[in-house]
Chains A and B, each alone.
Chain A
Amino acid sequence: MGKTIAEKILADRSGLDSVVPGQIVIVPVDIAMANELSAALSIKELDSWGVDKLYDPEKICLIPDHFTPSKDINAAGISKKIREFAKKHNVRWYFEVGRAGIEHAVLPLEGVILPGQIMIGGDSHTCTAGAINCFATGVGSTDIAAAWATGEAWLKVPRSVRLNYSGKLNPHVYGKDLILYTLKDLTTSGATYMSLEYHGDVFESLPMADRFTMANMAIEAGGKTGIFDFDEKTKKLVESTPRFKNEKPSYKTYAADEDAEYAIMREYDVSKIEPQIAKPFSPDNVCPVSEINKVKIDQVVIGACTNGWLEDLVRAAEVFKGRKIHPDVKAIVIPGSQIIARQAFDLGLPQIFIDAGCVFSTSTCGPCIGGHMGVLGEGEVCVSTTNRNFKGRMGHLTSEVYLANPAVAAASAVMGRIGSPEEL
């Protein structure tokens, strides 16, 4: 019987001929990553276990990105602890503020994670890396501590979902709209413990950015990971990273068999999809943007591990160019990483954002988790390109978040209400 991408990677890496869904395997972990919040607890665990020697510092990645640049004294204390831990253990992939960004944007673009590898991360959006054909999944701090100590993790082989997207895309429809549409269909628990496999000819006309966006939100359907096929676009991205250029590491790629077995299969005709928006308070509470064009807004956030990629910033800038933000709205634009910020400067994007009246910030997860750099106040309404709109997610319990693509978010900022770029 044929195998899915997830089954093939997990079988290969656990040294078995084949695996079946539900089977528990012990796998070597190529990268065990944590941000400053998850790492703080992992370090505490290691201390309480009396573990002072890490299995392999080459396979550890630490990125302070949630409350950084440190938002207060507590956050500074945590980041300091992480920095000291990284230094003490010679952690290879420690990324300092200013040389980093949001973990999920940093790892694939720096070349820390490669196709075919297994990564666990102390952050639910670790699945983002699946865009480059690897098995990446979010876990908790104890799992991370265990992998740092032993080099291994236990994983249950997930069942797989095959999602196929074909047809011609409508204007201003991107990966974000495809995944929101999919979430409406699958719901937030529809793919619990499953691996989402994304296929279809539509990805020939979309850049890698959209694959990252879609893999990122696999967790919003309850997924364990989201994986894309490897193709020329993946190869180009992987082989142009700083690490690849230096070391030329070898890597292995995986494709699903024709007769692989899937728990769920879906065919989406993308020509029927218009720009989508997720209403409060769930990422699966989705409808076309055109159905809700009268909601007044207070804030727009463009960025995050979901939509802080270069193409996302380009799409937002195309809308903002020559326009001003509505006087009642504040808009915050956040590139996913320093690499992306640098590219944005080369294209002159920050000037466009600033001329329109936006904040152009350094990379941080800040506003997405109601941490800093744009926390919502009582009753405030926000259109955000982030991935979650649960109650209180971005600030006050009575605030409301609508999730959309960067062009819709930018158009809404200009109009002062939810709307699509078509209306401008």
Chain B
Amino acid sequence: MILKGKTYRAGENVNTDVILPGRWCHLTDEGELAKHCMEDYDADFLKKIKPGDIIIAGDNFGCGSSREVAPLSIKSAGIGAVVAKSFARIFFRNSINIGLPIFESPECVYATKAGDELEIDVFGGKIKNKTRKKEFSFVPFPPFMQTIIEKGGLKGWVMEKLRQG
């Protein structure tokens, strides 16, 4: 599985309050959520991105509130993946559960600028920065999480549990 896209650059400790502000937390429709993605972080975010683009961020991306609408709004806005130095744990969990591809690679974050073209080999554990002709590796997910990802999110896991009774 290969993901390709241009990068949008975000900073350190981007919290879920700015990714999807509390005033929109009552929304569940993905189209509506997409309209408010990153609204309080960068009011022009949606103008700057195209489907498949990749967010590059610093440490602790997605910290704060557990709102699943935060990663869901990113996915719904068409973002193909998020690469950060590190993720806050609930955001990490939520992203795996809903099928938003996320990767931890500090080296890639340090070396990548806004607008660079990336190519991510999801299961091979490699990220290529095609603009700067550099390659980085990331630690693949532990086997249990790989299973969830391969089943297309937590839904697959639940279905199997229920089938087994």
**Which residues of A are in contact with B by a Cβ distance under 8 Å?**
24, 37-38, 40-41, 44-45, 48-49, 51, 66-67, 74-75, 78, 121-124, 126, 138-143, 145-146, 149-150, 152, 154, 188-189, 192-193, 219, 222, 224, 282, 369-371, 388, 390-393, 397
Contact = CB atoms under 8 A, between A and B. Distances in A.
Contact of A143 (B28, B86, B97): B97
Contacts, number: 129
Interface of B: 13, 15, 17-18, 21-23, 25-26, 28, 40, 59-60, 63-69, 71-72, 86, 88-90, 93-94, 97-98, 142, 144-145, 153-155, 157-159, 161-162
A392 B25 contact: no
A392 B17 contact: yes
B129 to A, nearest CB: 25
A124 B64 CA distance: 7
Contacts of B161: 149-150, 152
Contact of A370 (B21, B89, B94, B158): B21
A120 B60 CA distance: 21
Interface of A is mostly: mixed
B94 A140 contact: yes
Contact of A142 (B18, B67, B154): B154
A109 B94 CA distance: 29
B17 A393 contact: yes
- By Cβ-Cβ distance, the 3 closest A-B pairs, closest first, are A369-B22, A140-B68, A140-B94
A140 B158 contact: no
A139 B26 contact: no
A74 B24 CA distance: 11
A40 B60 contact: no
Nearest to A40: B28
Contact of A44 (B18, B28, B88): B28
B97 A371 contact: no
B66 A38 contact: yes
A38 B26 contact: no
B63 A189 contact: yes
A344 to B, nearest CB: 26
A224 B158 contact: no
B162 A150 contact: yes
B64 A388 contact: yes
A391 B162 contact: no
Given A188-B13, A388-B64, A390-B17, A41 B69 contact: yes
A51 B154 CA distance: 13
Contact of A391 (B40, B66, B97): B40
Contact of B25 (A45, A66, A146, A219): A66
